[in-house]
């Protein structure tokens, strides 16, 4: 189940509003000077490009927080799409009805967040579609925007991707610097397993020989880093030949164009930092129209 991280989202929303309004409760000097507190409007949240939406619950969260800050009446939110839905240019994602001032105060915070998350979901869907039928899944990484990890990883799930570890605390990942510090793959693995026996351990490898060393040490999840398709295929064959049940991930420098070729080597996963660190936003806008009520 892809549960929206509401508690974390509330923290993000309050922080974003503090940035925009100069603290709590803050001030929008333009809207407060121009718009009477009693003025009401209707606004449409509109997709300006095709994509996959994520973060739709943030629309209600943002305007609830804004109305509490400025003391206005509630902004009613009518949603036409859910997270994970595909949208086309011109689709009305939601309709807002209520205080004009509140709508304009919260506009940019809301758009920044849902455009960002929808961009992540849209990019992830492209990778998921490219891997369809191969048996391999696309994973995210820790290359996320500081403070937005829970939301960005949620957006990856909305796009059809799978989360890897959430942080340094839940899964051990032995990388090159750890191996150098410990002296070898085996020494690093033994140190982690001995200290935290209940924690899953993943080991980054760069050659077939290193992959076999890691499996011999007890590793059951390998990250095959920066290998060519041929090198990866050889590593997969070598590991599968041990008879051990080992999950194998391709990582490092992967591109969407080459995704299927890598997946067809027999790996279980492709991890792609670009799902989060390089996803362009999905262009979403807010169009204000006079309220007819």
Q: What is the per-residue pLDDT across 77-105, written as a single tens digit (0 to 9) for each?
A: 999 999 999 999 999 999 999 999 999 99
pLDDT score recorded for residue 292: 59
To 10 degrees, what angle do helices 57-70 and 100-131 make?
160
Residues tagged active-site: 108, 143, 175, 204, 225
* C-beta of residue 12 within 8 angstroms of C-beta of residue 61: no
Q: Answer yes or no: CATH 3.40.50.2020 is held by domain 128-277.
A: no
Residues 211, 185: contact at Cβ < 8 Å?
Answer: no
Token pair listed for 170: 């839940």
pLDDT band at 290 (very low <50, low <70, confident <90, very high): low
Q: In three state form, how does the secondary structure of the chain look?
A: CCCCCHHHHHHHHHHHHHHHHCCCCCCCHHHHHHCCCCCEEEEEEEECCCEECCCCHHHHHHHHHHHHHHCCCCCEEEECCCCCCEECCCCEEEEEEEEHHHHHHHHHHHHHHHHHHHHHHHHHHHHHHHHCCCCCEEECCCCCCCCCHHHHHHHHHHCCCECCCCCCCCEEEECHHHHHHHCCHHHHHHHHHHHCCCCEEEEEECCHHHHHHHHHHCCCEEEEECCCHHHHHHHHHHHHCCCCCCEEEEECCCCCCCHHHHHCCCCCEEECCHHHHCCCCCCEEEEEEECCC
Domain regions of the chain by residue span: 6-121+279-290, 128-277
Cβ–Cβ under 8 Å, residues 142 and 274: no
Per-residue pLDDT for 236 more than 60? yes
**Residue 110: closest CA among 20, 38, 194, 13:** 13
pLDDT digits (tens, 9 = 90+) for 238-255: 999 999 999 999 999 999
**Digit-coded pLDDT (tens) for 170-200:** 999 999 999 999 999 999 999 999 999 999 9
3: tokens are: 């549960």
Task: State which fold the 6-121+279-290 domain adopts.
Answer: Aldehyde Oxidoreductase; domain 3 (3.90.1170)
pLDDT in tens, 145-165: 999 999 999 999 999 999 999
Which tens digits make up the pLDDT trace of 40-89? 999 999 999 999 999 999 999 999 999 999 999 899 999 999 999 999 99
Helix or strand (DSSP H, E) at 185: helix 185-195
């Amino acid at each position: 189940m892809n549960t929206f991280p509401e508690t974390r989202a509330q923290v993000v929303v309050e922080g974003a509003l503090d940035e925009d309004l100069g603290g709590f409760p803050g001030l929008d000097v333009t809207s407060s000077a121009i718009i009477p507190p009693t003025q009401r409007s209707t606004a449409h949240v509109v997709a300006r490009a095709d994509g996959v939406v994520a973060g739709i619950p943030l629309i209600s969260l943002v305007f609830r927080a804004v109305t509490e800050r400025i003391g206005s009446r509630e902004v009613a939110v009518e949603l036409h799409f859910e997270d994970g839905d595909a949208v086309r240019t011109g689709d009305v994602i939601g309709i807002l009805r209520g205080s004009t001032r509140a709508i304009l105060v919260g506009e940019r915070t809301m758009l920044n967040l849902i455009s960002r998350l929808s961009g992540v979901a849209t990019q992830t869907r492209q990778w998921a579609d490219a891997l369809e039928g191969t048996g391999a899944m696309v994973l995210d990484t820790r290359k996320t925007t500081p403070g937005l990890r829970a939301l960005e990883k949620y957006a990856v799930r909305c796009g059809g991707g799978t989360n890897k570890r959430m942080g340094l605390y839940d899964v051990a990942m032995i990388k090159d610097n750890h191996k150098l510090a410990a002296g070898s793959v085996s020494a690093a693995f033994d140190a982690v397993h001995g200290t935290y026996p209940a924690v899953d351990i993943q080991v980054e490898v760069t050659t077939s020989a290193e992959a076999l060393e890691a499996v011999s040490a007890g590793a059951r999840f390998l990250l095959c880093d920066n290998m060519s398709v041929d090198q990866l295929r050889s590593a997969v064959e070598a590991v599968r030949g041990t008879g051990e049940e080992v999950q194998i991930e391709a990582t490092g420098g992967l591109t969407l164009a080459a995704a299927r070729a890598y997946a067809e080597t027999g790996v279980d996963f492709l991890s792609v930092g670009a799902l989060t660190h390089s996803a362009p936003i999905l262009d979403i806008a807010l169009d204000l129209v006079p309220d007819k009520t």
